[in-house]
Amino acid sequence: MVSRKPFDRIDSCRLEKVTKKYGDRFAVKNLNLEIQGGELLILIGRSGSGKTTALRMINRLIEPDSGSISVNGIDVREFDPILLRRNIGYVIQNIGLLPHLRVSENIGLILKLESWKEEKIRERVKYLLNLVSLPPQIFMERYPHELSGGQQQRVGLARAMAMDPPLFLMDEPFGALDPLLRSQLQDEFCKIKKELGRTIVFVTHDINEAFRLGDRIAVMNNAELVQVGTPEELIFSPANDLVAEIVDSKRKYRHIDALKVRDIMQPLEKRYILYPGMSAASALDYMVKVGLEVALVFWNPENTGRVYLNDVLNAVSSGKSLEEAAKPLPLFSPEISLLEALARLKAEGESMGLVLEADKPAGILFSDRVLENLI
Amino acid sequence: MVLTGEVLQATLEHLLLAYAALAAGILVAAPLIFFSLYSAKLASLIMKFSNLVQAIPSFAVVALVVPLIGIGFTPAVIAIMLRVLLPIIKNTYIGLFNVDPALIESSKGIGLSEFQIIRHVRLPNAYPAIFAGIKFAAILANSIAVLTALIGGGGLGSIIFEGLTNFNTSKVLAGTLPVIGIALFLDFSFSRIERWLTPEYLQK
């Protein structure tokens, strides 16, 4: 069989007015959802909310009754389903390794069907096993039943990556593992994800997993999409009570009211601060030498700003001073409430603010780090 | 000495009869199973038919063949074949369709075609069950081959019936002992082959 890849990269994957009915019951109802290239989108909801059905329509394991699903603007129905699926990594909770095949044969099965040479397959299998932290010399010749649950799931992941697909569909891949192992695999998965930079649609019912892995989260209920947004958006402005309940904003983040900026801010290292009197040129030298992408310019509490390396570069070439190049950024006292500070950041469209203590820079507040620190 | 030669001759006939029927059974079952993988209707029809044949007593199946095809070696083979069809087909079915649905699902998901799923997932999963069916069929063929002596199939059955009619105990024994011997040998040898064929992952 000649290998024809339907797509090499994902710019977008769009579900438009997708509906699927089983009998009288809607499994998915009028779903509109866009998955952006390179992101990890979480589909979360209770069982029966339609998240798995939505996922399985993307690689045509289920065909929608109406509506369309497209990858890079091309309807998936125009692709041969077999070729489509080989170009989309698929990992499910039950893994589904073939019990009569060794680990290497399981991972290499599709490659073999794609008429790869034996040697090339072995090479690829070794690479993939290393990627999922299973030493090939130990694991290649084993049978699935000789592996632990976590190891099997790693092999499942390696198998899904065999054809180097640009898109992954994952259906509760870590759901059957014990909590400790789950969080370890999630960590490793994050690393792999960063390394490979793939587009991933990930089904789960575990909100902590969703927060941990997801760039954006789509909440589904009763076959319909309720809200889609970043973890922060869901927590701080849930669309309805259900979302609030799912993200558990009441219980888990109740204490957020009591938090102060001091609790969450990142300590500011001295090297990030540029002091007055510095010329744009020497600031550039300094930033390049120390390896800074961004720095703070601090004269006094009334004159504080942030410069990116690019700004300094522009300032040097246009003869501006460092002070002119700096953009003002919100200032906070460490004692004000976190929610108030976050609201101000949001209102000003900023992602970071400077925390001043006794008129001296003490720390930085990143809005997108707030969640990380809370979970 | 005469008896020894006769028993030896009958034993060979008996083995030929049973194995010809077994081979015919496998040859008939294989395409039936293959085609019914693609047609649920055919599958249910075949299952119903083989269940029906199973319900009819062996002796009746043997007797029924006579008015339809006559007597002799070939009708005997056909009678045994009809009788052994069921265990082969039924076990193959169980093996092919008792596959963990998650396995089929994930195989489909990673891009295996229907045929590749049969070839790489269903069949390997079914080997042990298919083999158990064939082993059972072989032992069944051996015992029915005794009955088919009545319709001129020859074999050890002829000696047994002759012995019974003449109250000749030694003749009865001369017929039955080899049949028992064959049965034990079949069981033993098939068990050995079974162990040899059983996939590594199932051996504990």
Query: A250: domain CATH number?
Result: 3.40.50.300
Beta bridge partners of A168: A89, A200
Burial environment of residue A239 by CB neighbours within 10 A (0 to 12, 13 to 18, 19 or more): middle
8 Å CB contact of B110 and A99: no
Measure B121 CA to nearest chain A CA, in Å. Answer: 7
CA dist., res. A222 & res. B109, Å (int): 25
Residues of B in contact with A103 (CB under 8 A): none
Place of tokens 């690019």: A310
Q: What is the CATH number of the domain that holds A276?
A: 3.10.580.10
Instruction: Report the pLDDT value the prediction gives residue B26, as an integer from 0 to 100.
Output: 92
From the list B102, B125, B201, the residue facing A92 with the nearest CB is: B102
8 Å CB contact of A90 and B109: yes
Q: Last residue of a domain, which of A239, A254, A269?
A: A254
Is some CB atom of chain B closer than 8 A to the CB atom of A60?
Answer: no
Report if residue A5 sits inside a domain. no
Residue A165's closest CA among A92, A99, A98, A110? Answer: A110
Q: Which residue of B has its CA nearest to A81?
A: B111
Q: Are residues A125 and A136 in contact, defined by beta-carbon separation less than 8 angstroms? A: yes
Residue A77's closest CA among A89, A65, A60? Answer: A60
Q: Last residue of a domain, which of A227, A254, A281?
A: A254
pLDDT in tens, B117-146: 999 999 888 888 888 899 999 999 999 999
Q: Does residue A278 share a domain with residue A241? A: no
8 Å CB contact of B103 and A96: yes
Instruction: Report the pLDDT value the prediction gives residue B50, as an integer from 0 to 100.
Output: 76
Is some CB atom of chain B closer than 8 A to the CB atom of A113?
Answer: yes
Q: Which residue of A has its CA nearest to B200?
A: A100
CA dist., res. A331 & res. A365, Å (int): 9
Q: Does residue A344 share a domain with residue A227? A: no
Q: What is the CATH number of the domain that holds B41?
A: 1.10.3720.10
Q: Does residue A270 share a domain with residue A223? A: no
From first CA to last CA, the distance across chain A in angstroms is 48
Q: Does residue A37 share a domain with residue A107? A: yes
Using alpha carbons only, give the angle A249, A254, A258 rounded to the nearest 5 degrees. Answer: 140
Report if residue A28 sits inside a domain. yes
**A28 — phi, psi (to 5°)?**
-140, 130
Residues of A in contact with B125 (CB under 8 A): 99-100
Contacts of range A59-63, beta carbons closer than 8 Å, 24 or more positions apart: A59/A84, A59/A85, A59/A88, A59/A90, A59/A169, A59/B109, A60/A84, A60/A85, A61/A85, A61/B105, A61/B108, A61/B109, A62/A20
Share of chain B above pLDDT 90, in %: 29
Residues of A in contact with B107 (CB under 8 A): 96, 98
Which of B106, B116, B204 to probe by mutation at the A interface, max A CB count within 10 Å?
Answer: B106
Q: Are residues A163 and A86 in contact, defined by beta-carbon separation less than 8 angstroms? A: yes
Q: Does residue A280 share a domain with residue A243? A: no
**A189 — phi, psi (to 5°)?**
-60, -40
- Look up residue B116 and give its amino acid: Q
Residues of B in contact with A163 (CB under 8 A): 111
Q: Last residue of a domain, which of A235, A254, A273?
A: A254
CA dist., res. A144 & res. B122, Å (int): 17
Place of tokens 């299952």: B47
Instruction: Report the pLDDT value the prediction gives residue A282, as an integer from 0 to 100.
Output: 85
Q: Does residue A318 share a domain with residue A169? A: no
pLDDT in tens, A255-292: 666 677 877 787 777 778 887 778 888 888 888 887 77
Q: Does residue A73 share a domain with residue A141? A: yes
Question: DSSP secondary structure string, A68-79?
Answer: EEEETTEEGGGS
Residues of A in contact with B108 (CB under 8 A): 61, 85
Report if residue A1 sits inside a domain. no
Instruction: Report the pLDDT value the prediction gives residue A254, as an integer from 0 to 100.
Output: 56
- Interface A-B: count of C-beta contacts within 8 A: 65
8 Å CB contact of B201 and A96: no
8 Å CB contact of B103 and A159: no
CA dist., res. A305 & res. A322, Å (int): 10
8 Å CB contact of A98 and B113: no
Domain that includes residue A274, residue range: 261-374
B150 Cα distance to chain centroid:
20
Q: Which residue of B has its CA nearest to A142?
A: B201
> Which is more confidently placed, A348 or B108?
B108
Is some CB atom of chain B closer than 8 A to the CB atom of A242?
Answer: no
Residue A19's closest CA among A56, A54, A71? Answer: A54
8 Å CB contact of B124 and A113: no
From the list A82, A95, A143, the residue facing B111 with the nearest CB is: A82
Residue B194's closest CA among B142, B130, B139, B141? Answer: B130
Confidence band, pLDDT 50/70/90 cuts, at residue B1:
very low
8 Å CB contact of B116 and A144: no
Domains in chain B, number: 1
Measure A38 CA to nearest chain B CA, in Å. Answer: 21
Residues with Cβ within 8 Å of residue B15, at least 6 apart in sequence: B182
Domains in chain A, number: 2
Q: Does residue A177 share a domain with residue A275? A: no
8 Å CB contact of B125 and A83: no
CA dist., res. A348 & res. A331, Å (int): 12
8 Å CB contact of B112 and A113: yes
Residues with Cβ within 8 Å of residue B16, at least 6 apart in sequence: none
Confidence band, pLDDT 50/70/90 cuts, at residue B110:
very high
Instruction: Report the pLDDT value the prediction gives residue A59, as an integer from 0 to 100.
Output: 93
A105: tokens are: 């044969």
8 Å CB contact of A143 and B108: no
B165: tokens are: 């009619």
Q: Does residue A142 share a domain with residue A107? A: yes
Residues of B in contact with A169 (CB under 8 A): 109
Residues with Cβ within 8 Å of residue A111, at least 6 apart in sequence: A120, A121, A124, A162, A163
Measure B22 CA to nearest chain A CA, in Å. Answer: 28
Q: Does residue A355 share a domain with residue A217? A: no
Q: Which of the residues in chain A have pLDDT under 70? A: 1-3, 249-258, 369, 371-375
Q: What is the DSSP letter of A237?
A: S
**A354 — phi, psi (to 5°)?**
-100, 135
8 Å CB contact of B108 and A110: no
Instruction: Report the pLDDT value the prediction gives residue A2, as an integer from 0 to 100.
Output: 45
Domain that includes residue B64, residue range: 2-202
From the list B105, B110, B121, the residue facing A110 with the nearest CB is: B110
Instruction: Report the pLDDT value the prediction gives residue A36, as an integer from 0 to 100.
Output: 92
Instruction: Report the pLDDT value the prediction gives residue A373, as an integer from 0 to 100.
Output: 62
Beta bridge partners of A23: none
Q: Does residue A203 share a domain with residue A269? A: no
Is some CB atom of chain B closer than 8 A to the CB atom of A110?
Answer: yes
Is some CB atom of chain B closer than 8 A to the CB atom of A99?
Answer: yes
pLDDT in tens, B35-83: 888 888 888 888 888 788 778 888 888 888 888 988 888 999 999 998 8
Measure A47 CA to nearest chain B CA, in Å. Answer: 17
From the list A86, A96, A156, the residue facing B111 with the nearest CB is: A86
8 Å CB contact of A85 and B110: yes
Report if residue A309 sits inside a domain. yes
CA dist., res. A321 & res. A280, Å (int): 6
Give the burial string for B26-58 (b: 16+ CB within 10 Å, else e): bebbeebbeebbeeeeebeebeeebeeeeeeeb
CA dist., res. A232 & res. B19, Å (int): 73
CA dist., res. B119 & res. A102, Å (int): 16
Q: Are residues A177 and A150 in contact, defined by beta-carbon separation less than 8 angstroms? A: yes
Q: Are residues B169 and B158 in contact, defined by beta-carbon separation less than 8 angstroms? A: no
